[in-house]
Amino acid sequence: MLRTVKLLSIAVPVLLLVTLSLIAADIVVSERRTSVQLPDAPRFDGHRAVLITRPARPSFGHHTAESAVLLDLDSGEQLYSRNSSAEHIAASLAKLVTMYVILEAAEDGRIGLDERFEPHPSSWWTEMPAGSSLMFLGADQRVSWDSLLAGLAVASGNDAAVAAAYELSGTVERFVDEMNDAMARSGMEGMSFSEPAGISAENRITAGAFADFLAHYVERFPWVIERYHALEALEFPDNEVYQSGPQMRPIVHANRNLLIGSYAGADGLKTGYIRASGYNIAATAERDGRRLITVVLGVDGADHRAGGERRAEEAADLLDFGFDAFVRADLRPKRIPAVAVVGGEPEHTGPEGTLPLRIDGATVLMAESDVERLRGRIVAADRVRAPANPGDIVGYVKYFVGEELAGWSAVRVRDSVDTAGGVFSRLRRAVATVRGVPETGAWTKGTK
């Protein structure tokens, strides 16, 4: 008994001394530790660009379009708009929705793009209205869905649209229902279609809604740009399409989108015209990994040549503005702060017991004129308690344009750090709990 008391009289002061030394160490850490509340501001995660500043809006006073939109695909933001919600006649831009329905059917396995079929007699070029844009489908032909899509994109074939409707849905009316259903499923409002070729003035769109549709179209089927829309010309009907041998000479159909081959980065999409609509164009271009989409509706033109050139010029002006006045940047800093871990398994930690960290991407779109005003500040705890899991937030980077907080990106744990065993590790974790050293993932959202 006396021996036990003697041992306790020695052990208790030693343990108390160890405890006090650990508390003292963590008091210093606690005093040096930054308060870490997540900012109440846009969060940059690198998955989608965030628009943080805009340049001065250009006037484009010489433009004749009734409505226009310029959309940045990365951010989904409209960089420019004029009368973007005004209803307008789609004309042959409706064929892009026709293509979307065909591509959706191919993706669902209802059709194969290499499959060939005989176009319905109602779709033969001889049955089309006078003045129609034609692919020249006719008797004795077997056409593939792949060729039909090219005919819609390049030749703007009204016959191709009707052939697709009959073959896919049995009737034009049922195909139109599929067009409208597809837009409703995709959340596209402000558009309605009455036939698949764009002949009718009842096909209605808005520049804003159609730009959103095109963004969805390009993101869902990115390969169609190079496969169909970027083609400068299409030769059809070729010799392979006829079952009984050639019946007419192949026709070279030039792409009516004059930006293809003349504007740097332009690779699609479609033009449209009927007398009631004026000259329409939906155009896209990509430079240095940035894709812009513009929709220009109701351009004036004394004739087809003048109208085609004018709509291309107005679309080019918008694309120039998007590429020149805005810049995209990844703001992720090269320096990662050192954050120590309390009670972690040594072999899982970094140098001198630090957490292995990464910083979320911070892709932003901003006015080129504001780049020099951009700055950032890293906020992080000095140390956190183990265990730490990949993705746990232990800090953040705040980004400012001048004095304005533009947004933030997270500093995260890169690899797992397990809890170390042993009495001293448990004691240090207990002390860390008492002294308020934060847990990973236990951060709160608020303003700072």
Cα 160 from Cα 151, distance rounded (Å): 6
Domains and CATH numbers, the chain: 33-48+330-445 (2.60.410.10), 65-299 (3.40.710.10)
Closest CA to 414 of 329, 341, 331: 341
Residue 421: band (very low, low, confident or very high) from pLDDT cuts 50, 70, 90: low
Residue 318: band (very low, low, confident or very high) from pLDDT cuts 50, 70, 90: very high
Residue 424: band (very low, low, confident or very high) from pLDDT cuts 50, 70, 90: very low
**Is 79 a residue whose pLDDT tops 80?**
yes
| Stated pTM of the model | 0.83
Structure tokens given for 111: 């059709």
The secondary element (H helix, E strand) that includes residue 13 is helix 2-32
Say if residue 329 is exposed, middle or buried (CB neighbours under 10 Å; 0-12, 13-18, 19+).
middle
Report whether 140 contacts 243 (CB < 8 A): yes
- The confidence score (pLDDT) of residue 346 equals 61
What is the average per-residue pLDDT within 78-95?
97
Alpha helix ranges (H) inside 205-257: 207-220, 224
Q: How far is CA 268 from CA 135, 200, 231, 315, 407, in A?
A: 18, 23, 8, 12, 34
Count other C-beta atoms under 10 Å from residue 185's C-beta: 9
What is the average per-residue pLDDT within 184-208?
94
- The confidence score (pLDDT) of residue 70 equals 98
- The confidence score (pLDDT) of residue 347 equals 52
- The confidence score (pLDDT) of residue 343 equals 62
Residue 438: band (very low, low, confident or very high) from pLDDT cuts 50, 70, 90: very low
Cα 99 from Cα 97, distance rounded (Å): 5
- The confidence score (pLDDT) of residue 443 equals 36
Report whether 367 contacts 388 (CB < 8 A): no
pLDDT tens track for 326-355:
999 888 887 787 787 776 556 556 556 677
What is the average per-residue pLDDT within 159-170?
97
Percentage above 90 pLDDT, the chain: 61
What is the average per-residue pLDDT within 192-218?
97
SS3 category, 276: coil
Those residues whose C-beta lies under 8 Å from the C-beta of residue 3, and which sit 6 or more positions away, are none
- Which of these ranges, 212-221, 318-327, 339-348, 399-408, has the smallest mean pLDDT? 339-348
Q: How far is CA 372 from CA 148, 366, 379, 389, 406, in A?
A: 50, 11, 22, 37, 14
Quote the mean pLDDT of the chain.
84
Percentage above 70 pLDDT, the chain: 83
What is the average per-residue pLDDT within 199-225?
97
Give rounded-to-5 percent helix, strand, coil for the chain.
35, 25, 40
Pairing state between β 78-82 and 87-89: unpaired
**Is 437 a residue whose pLDDT tops 90?**
no
